[in-house]
Structure 1
């Protein structure tokens, strides 16, 4: 009997990191389980169903709530995750906002008699009083939790989420099945001998100062190292606009390229694998770089980014967003370009360890829930 699984996350909204998470979960579930029956809650259910050959139900509350309840009632297991779902960086008002949404899905699953696993999640920040109350009440309903870093486990305990067993693993994207695909590279007007540097920027709150810092550093690297910066928009038009902001501050803007926003996670990953270096804000641009053994300098706007950079061995070369020093950024990038092979070796070794830890998410799921699915709830 196949395990019936519902996956709940930030899916169908065009975020490359979250779509990579979904692809990694589905591919690895299919590799590890006998014919899993998978349903995904998605904002674009038809697209998700066609892309991954799964069932899909509209994730929002505006429609098809009966479909969500029916899927949860029929399921053996709800996978909540992965990614940074449980946080209140964005406004959390009573039942509106990411944190209450995902916890209400958990609550619905438990009302339907379905087991719940928080899967490879990054927790926090959770700073509001209401967010802390919701976490303590509803997150304790989970049957089992894996988190992608030690910071998340510590935060769960500080929030009073102590009932479910919690294990630190790694982001499931470290178990992504990378395939050859040069669509991104072929979309660019390149000669073929460029020193490509992937750049990932995103809008962040009301901050604008970092656009100028990144622009100045890239200008210097173009002059000193002859690099060709290529901006990789990990969240569609949001990141395209942020990339355009950086390019608008540059003197050598004609030396830059911005990839289109509609490539697949695998295509972006494969493009990054062809680069000499990544300078990135988005977490999954840095995870893609680690997966491909590409040296990377992170610009951390969130503890999840700093945590990843420490695990990949690149934190000493990286910066918190508010602490960017253009001169040091340029020096660090030049060092990585000059010593690429040795830095790449460090990255590959650390990524191999995180790949093993990412696969633990699947092994633990099988150990905790497979026999229950086969025997019936």
Structure 2
């Protein structure tokens, strides 16, 4: 393939969720591995100014996305109206551009769609209906690209589902029926695709962030030392039929586990900044306040806006981690740091199964001391063997993460024939 492929990555979220940033880095590294110098990548972000500075080193252009709604349980009427009008404008402009064969428009986001040879929906877990309108804002751009502009669209290393609303299921089925290919990062999502009756080619690889293994330089771990440093990442919002009850149970149980770690292992616990999302930060402070005053000197909230590379380096210094965010578990696994994962979506079970660590996953809605304390003791006792297992599995998953980009290249060649 000699000509340069113009690739536009949509649904790419923002700078403050470092898991999403890790996915974007992973996509870029893998695409450059597959296409070499023959790929031109443009990235959508809702924090384009910050992302532009970071992604400049990869030669990637970043543009502001059309709309970004933070996860919220209280969506105002004005916000709903704003979203509707914004996407109606985008759809009408796209329709006009296609009908009248207009090659370039003033809207920079739509202009990138028009110029692109290929649209990639960013790696991650965006297509579900757990967060209401937050989820819709990710399916509509795919509809504009595939249904209106007739552009080739591929979902890249994603998780799909769960769904509970008929409207979302129908909309998702209609939109995704027009795309070229779905690349999943875990197998559980196949069940949701089959329930929809969606007839689109589906392949399974793994999470895009495993590609970040290539950025790991000179990390040395002393896995035989006693437990001294334990990392924790938190989540401030997750889907639940009774969120208030389950959230209180999650935070209070985790606080008790932290006290147990401090008292039994004489370890210092660090609450680490996997995201800078407001409700995650609030949860970190609540968690610290719940730990008894006698132990507060042994728990520290790390207040830094870190790049994924910095987080990976930070997690490598931990003896083990309790992860409420999936990508904190993936970042930790890159250096072989043992992990316990508190899961709020099926994506975590799928990825941990690939790591050979499915038994170290606990559903965040079913969290209890009876489940977590034995896992803490198990990981503390077996951290050396877990480290060795993870080192082997990570190499496999790194190669598998690159496969996603080579699949994209194969399908693009097929489309051109």
Question: Given that residues 121 and 153 in structure 2 are in contact (C-alpha distance below 8 angstroms), is that contact kept between their aligned partners in structure 1?
Answer: yes
CA shift in 2, pair 1:194/1:335, >3 Å? closer
Matched, 1:15 2:17: yes
Mapped partners of 1:240, 1:324: distance in 2: 21
**Greater displacement, 340-349 / 267-276:** 340-349
Mapped partners of 2:211, 2:28: distance in 1: 11
Mapped partners of 1:132, 1:168: distance in 2: 21
The aligned counterpart of 2:127 is 86
The 5-angstrom pairing of residues 291-330 of structure 1 reads 291-330=334-373
Unaligned runs of 5+ in 1: 92-96, 183-191
The aligned counterpart of 1:186 is none
| Pairwise CA distance, 1:314 | 2.3
Mapped partners of 1:42, 1:219: distance in 2: 39
| Pairwise CA distance, 1:365 | 0.8
**SS of aligned partner of 1:84:** strand
Mapped partners of 2:45, 2:113: distance in 1: 14
The 5-angstrom pairing of residues 49-60 of structure 1 reads 49-53=52-56, 54-60=60-66
Give the RMSD, CA atoms, in angstroms. Answer: 2.3
Matched, 1:228 2:268: yes
Question: Given that residues 247 and 253 in structure 1 are in contact (C-alpha distance below 8 angstroms), is that contact kept between their aligned partners in structure 2?
Answer: yes
The aligned counterpart of 1:216 is 256
**SS of aligned partner of 1:142:** coil
1:118-156 deviations in Å (ceiling 9; x for gaps): 000011111111110111100111101100111112211
**SS of aligned partner of 2:122:** strand
Matched, 1:359 2:402: yes
CA shift in 2, pair 1:137/1:261, >3 Å? farther
The aligned counterpart of 1:185 is none
Mapped partners of 1:72, 1:342: distance in 2: 48
Question: Given that residues 181 and 266 in structure 1 are in contact (C-alpha distance below 8 angstroms), is that contact kept between their aligned partners in structure 2?
Answer: no
The aligned counterpart of 1:278 is 321
Mapped partners of 2:205, 2:399: distance in 1: 9
Mapped partners of 2:227, 2:377: distance in 1: 16
Size of the aligned set, in residue pairs, is 359
CA shift in 2, pair 1:332/1:99, >3 Å? closer
Unaligned runs of 5+ in 2: 68-85, 91-106, 220-224, 238-242
Q: TM-score, normalised by structure 1?
A: 0.89
The 5-angstrom pairing of residues 144-183 of structure 1 reads 144-162=181-199, 164-176=200-212, 177-180=214-217
Mapped partners of 1:305, 1:34: distance in 2: 31
Question: Given that residues 69 and 108 in structure 1 are in contact (C-alpha distance below 8 angstroms), is that contact kept between their aligned partners in structure 2?
Answer: no
Question: Given that residues 86 and 98 in structure 1 are in contact (C-alpha distance below 8 angstroms), is that contact kept between their aligned partners in structure 2?
Answer: no
**Greater displacement, 315-324 / 252-261:** 315-324
**Greater displacement, 353-362 / 75-84:** 353-362
Match for residue 267 of structure 1 among 310, 327, 340: 310
Question: Given that residues 197 and 228 in structure 1 are in contact (C-alpha distance below 8 angstroms), is that contact kept between their aligned partners in structure 2?
Answer: yes
Question: Given that residues 124 and 155 in structure 1 are in contact (C-alpha distance below 8 angstroms), is that contact kept between their aligned partners in structure 2?
Answer: yes
